[in-house]
Amino acid sequence: MRVAIYGLPYHDEVRGPVEELLDELQKAGARVALEEGFAEFLGMAGDYDCFGLNKGLDPGFDLFVSFGGDGTILRAITYIRDLGIPIVGVNTGRLGFLSTFRKEEVRTLVREFVDGHYHLVDRSLVAADLEGEVPGGDRLNFALNEVTVSRKDTTSMITVETFLDGEYLTSYWADGLIVATPTGSTGYSLSCGGPVIMPTARSLVITPIAPHNLNARPLVISDDTEIRLRVSGREPQHLLSLDSRIATVDNGTVITVKRAPFQIRMVEYHSESFFKTIRNKLLWGEDRRN
């Protein structure tokens, strides 16, 4: 078994859980590789193989373990890309919709994986292209949660012309616009009034950010829809974000958003589920009458 380990941010409290994980992996006879920056932080760079953004990983890895919060998972997928390596998150952050395993349970994480007490859930991604250009480089134009356009250097709203499969939908007058995957439906989109969508649904949701029109509501569409966006506003530029990666884009640039050609494989243990996660994280069912 081959296992890759990644972690952010670099806090001393993560050392104990990582050492427990490494000990359990050693008992299981696993070959381990650490992300090079994380290995330096742990002082283990000479003890294990290391990997970076463009080296050290291949489809032969059986598991990718991410230490941190959901933001760490979003950064971790830039290492995995289209390699198909299953990923699981150990939550050392706050909320943890994606990083669901508690840091006190890392030994259980290994044992249940070895025993096959899990299944893989394919999570779709979205990709963004700028009239032939690719934000963030030719291999980092994808996002697991959402692609967002938003205002820059101004308190004035922007106008986002929106086309679906070439047909004009509307022009949103708002602080921005989110195109979220089912995975991202519990993130920024949810904060802006968007619906929660099952991770396996073949859908995307378009959610305006603080629209100045009470009729502008989130719209759920098929994930094979091609979305074209064009922003105008008082400032000459606006922001385009792909998960946690942000680029500055000139107004008037056509941004094409569509489903990415590959998926991310998330490990879901039999002891966990999407419904259990939203009950625990969103406090569904906390009404005393229940």
70: domain CATH number? 3.40.50.10330
- What number is the average pLDDT over the span 112-126? 94
User: Strand 254-269 relative to strand 118-130: parallel, antiparallel, unpaired?
Assistant: antiparallel
Q: Is residue 290 part of a domain?
A: no
Residue 288 has pLDDT above 70, yes or no: no
pLDDT band at 50 (very low <50, low <70, confident <90, very high): very high
Q: Enumerate residues 6+ apart whose C-beta is below 8 A from 73.
A: 66, 87, 89, 98, 99, 144
Same-domain status, 149 and 209: yes
Q: In this structure, what token pair is assigned to residue 152?
A: 């820059």
Q: Is 129 a catalytic residue?
A: no
The answer to whether residue 95 scores a pLDDT higher than 60 is yes
- Total structural domains within the chain: 2
**Residue 241 pLDDT exceeds 70:** yes
Quote the pLDDT of residue 290: 61
pLDDT of residue 101: 84
More confident residue, 281 or 104: 104
Res 159 pLDDT > 60: yes
Out of 12, 58, 70, 82, the active site residue is: 70
CA-nearest of 234, 232, 208 to 219 is 208
Q: Residue 143 corresponds to which tokens in the numbers above? A: 């996002």
Same domain, 253 and 147: yes
Q: Which residue has the higher pLDDT, 11 or 238?
A: 238
**141 shares a domain with 39:** no
Same domain? 201 vs 243? yes
Average pLDDT over residues 83-99: 86
Least confident of 133-137, 181-185, 190-194: 133-137
Arithmetic mean of pLDDT, 196-218? 94
What was the pLDDT predicted at 289? 65
**Residue 157 reports pLDDT greater than 60:** yes
**232 and 140 together in one domain:** yes
Residue 286 lies in a domain: no
Q: Give the pLDDT confidence score for residue 13 in this predicted structure.
A: 85
Domain that holds residue 206: 125-261
Residue 16 located in a structural domain = yes
